[in-house]
Structure 1
Amino acid sequence: MLRPRTVSHFGIAHETGCPMRAVSFLLLMLVLACPPTPGRAAGGIDRDSVRFAQLATTEGPSGDMGADIRDGLLAAFDEVNRAGGVRGRKLLLDTFDDHYEPGRAIVLARDVAEGDTHAAFIGQVGTATLKAVLPVANRSGMPMIAPFTGADFARAETAGRVLNLRPSYDQETEAAVAELVDRIGLKRIAVFYQDDYFGAAGRDGVIRALARRDLEMVAEGRYTRNTVAVKVAALMLADAAPDAVILVASAGPAARMMGIARELGLETRYLALSTVDPATLAAEAGADAAGTLFCEAVPSPFDTDLPVAADYRAALKAALPEATPGFGSFEGYLSGRLAIEALREAGAEPTRDKLAEALDRLGDIDLGGLVLRFGPGDRQGLDAVGIYRLTGDGTLVPAGTAPSGT
């Protein structure tokens, strides 16, 4: 509820709503005669800097990916800042921990929007949280750059000022089923998923991909977001004895489920969507994770033939020497590079609206051997999904380089 508040104009304080007509008229004349000082950070942009906001959890069972995306963004911003910024402006990032809960995410998004000190949201993590905050972002006019989700609603014409980097969940799940069914020859496929918008989107994508091959999902197990309460899910999956389980989850719950399922006697293959951090899964699941297949939404950050991958590794080392390179922070870095290109396109005197218009104009962007392709009706830069296999020493190799399995 709005309450009267004390405000101050040129040292004269009063309660809003109090009659001060003569003083108010004088103040109005003074304001008109003294326009705002150029360079003030209206909309997160001033003559020295451009400030972005990230909504993501960086702690708890799902915090690994938020932290990785943040680190990649910081690496990209630090890289351009060391070179003088974008048209002299330094890029800054504020990360707000939404605890991976939609309600908290809405509160934080409103605070950011009403504070008017950020040009755009970037690197937001979470499908359910994005679903909650997107109306807030759209009402404020703030662009939403490279959210970490493959959900269809973020790619629809009604999504507003959203620009996606990564492939959709439908593309990921099609690649996953193609690997398991078409290449390996498995038929009995189950799904372990988070019980929210994200998990449902992934599960439904698997169901559609199987249906295209005249197959049905043989079992499903689900868990509650921000928990590792997965025993019931493990029991259901173990009872079905599937040939493979597709993980539409975060790494912590997936690792816990794999351990319980092994204790229950389940011997199966696992294929994780890109939301499962390989390093976290390897660390928490140990030997249970060896042989796990992974969908990845960006190219390998270790590709020696990809110039942008080398740029990323150098930038990460310079900005965060203790950070370990990986797919998550590489995606964050690419997201930051995308924002930099849009900011350059926005011109010498960028505003929030000009930034949004620049995002609309983007076509093909070559980041260094990796081309992002945007166009009319296409607000998603990447379409290819890679499949990798986790080795016993915790590294990822392309799935076709050796027999995959557990």
Structure 2
Amino acid sequence: MLKFKPSILLTSCLLWASQLMASGSQLDIKLGMSVALTGPASEIGKQLASGSRIYFEQLNKQGGIHGALIELDVRDDGYEPNHTVNNTRFFIYDKKVHALFGYMGTPTTTAIKSMLEHTQIPLLMPYTGATFLREKPAFKVFNLRASYLDEAKEQISHLVDELGHSKIALLIQADEFGITLQKSLTAALKMRGLKPQVVGRFRRNTNGVEKALKLIGNSEATAVAMVGTYEPLSYFILLSQKQNKKLAFTTVSFVSSEDLLSKLTQPSQLMVTEVVPNPVSCEGKICEQFRATLSTHSLPITHAIFEGYLNALVFSRAAKMCPLPFNSNCVLNALSNVINQDDELRHLFKIKPKQKKLPIFRSYHS
């Protein structure tokens, strides 16, 4: 788990941005990033921002994009939609960024949907697998992660087909994130002639899972597909173990698996679906460069930092395919081409010829 304070990270990001502005030009590329730097989901936001910041810093030292520097402005929203809306207004109307980048969460991105439609500012690499970002949206978006539906299918396949569970409960964060995945998990169960045993809910940014545990514990469920962040989900698992509940668990990539696993004090039957390869063991030039870069920053190697790093890398490779000044249509087209044509990225994601979907990976705690 990262140990630096959110205020330090935010200050360093803004200081770095101000230095770029002082030495940059009108051709410099401005990106706005709204994530949780405070609150119970802050480790996710801090890690995403760190991964992207590290890559862009390295790129800027090498001359940037055709001489233009990348200015990444990172602002804290605490994983609360109203703060995300305020940050987005600042980015668009005050900062006049070229694109929104690496936004964190389904409820937060849902809250800015009307602004995306009205302004047509691109939303690039959001940290969410939400359906509304993938089904012919009326705004500009590029997703570098598999959908929550794909993650849900992988989890139900694991629980039902591999482990033999047929009585599966759902633990759901009560917001757009939870609704999206409840629909996806229910659809995946229905494909096997099953339905959720019960659905327990809890509020975002709280650990209030006791009522949900009582509901699930009183049911016949033998497994729980969970939707939330690392704090409430780890608390749920620990409480269930304290009550001697013999349950298997799954959850999605958003959770930040390293932070979740670090809070578990005894073995648990837990599988986390991931949207990037294991950054500790993956092979290839990108993985080697990532690990070498992190070794000079004294940061842990995590999936979230790796995803932030990859977001910046893919954006930069696409931007290099376009002339200056920044043109969103050119960059959006280039982003699709990068994934389809870049051999290093295809090797990293193990993308086969004619494969249209990004793969799902897994982490375990047993």
Give the conservation status (yes or no) of the 8 Å contact 2:149–2:181.
yes
Q: What amino acid is the match of 2:32?
A: A
CA distance in 2, matches of 1:381, 1:334: 19
CA distance in 2, matches of 1:329, 1:381: 25
Shift of 1:176: 0.5
Q: What amino acid is the match of 1:191?
A: L
Give the alignment partner of residue 386 of structure 1, picking from 348, 355, 361: 361
CA distance in 1, matches of 2:99, 2:59: 18
- The residue aligned with 1:83 is 62
Q: What amino acid is the match of 1:317?
A: S
Deviates more, 1:235-244 or 1:210-219: 235-244
Shift of 1:58: 1.9
Shift of 1:361: 6.1
- The residue aligned with 1:302 is 280
CA distance in 2, matches of 1:81, 1:372: 29
Rate the CA distance shift 1:134–1:311 in 2: closer, same or farther, 3 A.
farther
CA distance in 2, matches of 1:139, 1:317: 42
Query: For this pair of structures, how many residues does the alignment match?
Result: 341
- The residue aligned with 1:176 is 155
- The residue aligned with 1:332 is 308
Give the alignment partner of residue 104 of structure 1, picking from 63, 77, 83: 83
1:2-401 to structure 2, matched below 5 A, reads 46-47=25-26, 49-287=28-266, 290-318=268-296, 321-352=297-328, 354-356=330-332, 358-359=334-335, 364-366=340-342, 367-368=344-345, 369-370=347-348, 383-390=358-365
Instruction: Mark the runs of 5 or more structure 2 residues left unpaired by the alignment.
Output: 1-20
Q: What amino acid is the match of 1:100?
A: Y
CA distance in 2, matches of 1:353, 1:114: 20
Deviates more, 1:361-370 or 1:308-317: 361-370
Shift of 1:158: 2.2
The structure with the largest alpha-carbon Rg is: 1
Deviations 1:198-244 (A, max 9, x none): 11111111111111011111122111011111111111111124221
Shift of 1:350: 2.5
Give the conservation status (yes or no) of the 8 Å contact 2:314–2:338.
no
Shift of 1:173: 0.4
Shift of 1:300: 1.3
Secondary structure of the residue aligned to 1:279 is helix
Shift of 1:164: 0.2
Shift of 1:117: 3.2
Shift of 1:139: 2.3
Deviations 1:362-387 (A, max 9, x none): 561424423698xxxxxx98521112
Shift of 1:153: 0.3
Aligned-pair identity (%): 25
CA distance in 1, matches of 2:67, 2:276: 30
CA distance in 2, matches of 1:345, 1:206: 39
Shift of 1:115: 1.4
CA distance in 1, matches of 2:71, 2:122: 16
Give the alignment's TM-score, normalised by structure 1.
0.78
Secondary structure of the residue aligned to 1:252 is helix
Give the conservation status (yes or no) of the 8 Å contact 1:87–1:344.
yes
Shift of 1:360: 6.5
CA distance in 1, matches of 2:205, 2:188: 28
Give the conservation status (yes or no) of the 8 Å contact 1:300–1:309.
no
Give the conservation status (yes or no) of the 8 Å contact 1:346–1:358.
yes
Give the conservation status (yes or no) of the 8 Å contact 2:314–2:335.
no
Give the conservation status (yes or no) of the 8 Å contact 2:29–2:326.
no
CA distance in 1, matches of 2:102, 2:64: 20
Give the conservation status (yes or no) of the 8 Å contact 1:141–1:353.
no
Q: What amino acid is the match of 1:350?
A: F
CA distance in 1, matches of 2:92, 2:38: 24
Give the conservation status (yes or no) of the 8 Å contact 2:282–2:348.
no
Shift of 1:356: 4.5
CA distance in 2, matches of 1:338, 1:365: 12
Give the conservation status (yes or no) of the 8 Å contact 2:44–2:304.
yes
CA distance in 1, matches of 2:295, 2:71: 18
Give the alignment's TM-score, normalised by structure 2.
0.86
CA RMSD, aligned part only?
A: 2.5
Secondary structure of the residue aligned to 1:302 is coil
Q: What amino acid is the match of 2:361?
A: G
CA distance in 1, matches of 2:105, 2:155: 20
CA distance in 2, matches of 1:241, 1:309: 43
CA distance in 1, matches of 2:103, 2:183: 23
Give the conservation status (yes or no) of the 8 Å contact 1:52–1:122.
yes
Instruction: Mark the runs of 5 or more structure 1 residues left unpaired by the alignment.
Output: 1-40, 374-379, 391-404
Deviations 1:127-183 (A, max 9, x none): 011011132133223211110111110012124111001000110000001111111
